[in-house]
Structure 1
Amino acid sequence: MLKIFRATAILEGISYLLLFGLTMPLKYWAEIGGPNKVVGYAHGALFIAYVVIGFVFWYQKKWSIKRLLVLMLASLLPFATFYVDMKYLRTTD
C-alpha cells in the first residue's frame, strides 16, 4: 500500500504542476485547450485517488488527525505532496 500511495502522491504533484504551470497558460494565452483537458482529467483522477488512498493509509497506520490534515492539505498546495512523500511516506511509523 505504501508504494501505491507514494506513487500516487508524486504523480498527483506532477499533474498539479503540469496543469497550472504548463497547460493552463497554453489554454488561456495560446488558446490551445487540448492538453489542458487531458492533464485536467488525469489530475482529477489522481487527486481523488490520493485523497481516498490517504484516508485508507491514515486509518491503517492509526495516525493522528493532525497528520490526516497534513495529508489532505498537501493535495491542495503545489509541491506539498512531494513534502508529504519526503517527510511521512519514506519512513512510516
Structure 2
Amino acid sequence: MAAEQTRRTSSLPHALARRVGQGIPAALLRYRVMAWIVGVLLIALILVAVPLKYAADIGQPVSVIGTLHGWLYFIFFLVACDLALRARWTLKGAVLVLLAGTVPILSFVAERIATRKTRAGERV
C-alpha cells in the first residue's frame, strides 16, 4: 500500500507536465466564445441599458444585463485562466487579457491578439 502511494505521488508531477500544453485548441475556442459573449453584453450594458436607466428611468435592463454580464464574466475569467495555464501565458499577459474583459470594445482587441499569439505558439 505504501509503495503504491509513493509511486502514485512521484508520478504526479510527470502527469501534470504531460497535460500542460494539451487541449489548447479547445481551451482557445472556449475563451474566444466567452470573450465575445462578455464583450457584446458589456456593450449592450453601456450603450443600451445604462442610457435607458438614466434617460427614461427604466432600471430593469441594467439589473438583468448587468447581472448576466457579471456571472458570464466569472465564467470568462475561469476559461481565460485555463487557457493561460495551458498555453503558458505570462502573468502580465493573463492579467491584461482578464482586465480587457471589463472595458468595452477592448475585449475584442485582446481576444484577437491572444488568439493570434496562442495559435502561433507565442506567449501572451
Q: Which has the higher contact order (CA 8 A, sep 6+)?
A: 1
% same residue = 28
| Structure 2 unmatched ranges of 5 or more | 1-26
Amino acid in structure 2 at the alignment position of 1:85: E
Q: State the AA in 2 paired with 1:54.
A: A
Find the residue that maps to 2:29 and give its secondary structure.
helix
Query: Whole-Å Cα distance in 1 between the matches of residues 30 and 90 of structure 2?
Result: 21
> Of the two, which has the highest radius of gyration?
2
Tell me which stretches of 4 or more aligned residues in structure 1 moved more than 6 Å.
Answer: none
* Shift in Å, 1:66: 1.9
AA at the equivalent of 2:112:
M
Q: Which residue of 1 aligns with 2:75?
A: 49
Alignment of structure 1 residues 1-93 onto 2, 5 Å: 1-90=27-116, 92=118, 93=121
Structure 1 length-normalised TM = 0.89
Structure 1 residues without counterparts, runs of 5 or longer: none
Q: Between Structure 1 and Structure 2, how many residues are aligned?
A: 93
Q: CA RMSD in A?
A: 1.3
Structure 2 CA distance, aligned partners of 1:10 and 1:58? 17
Measured after TM superposition, the shift of residue 49 of structure 1 is: 1.1
Q: What is the TM-score normalised by the length of structure 2?
A: 0.69
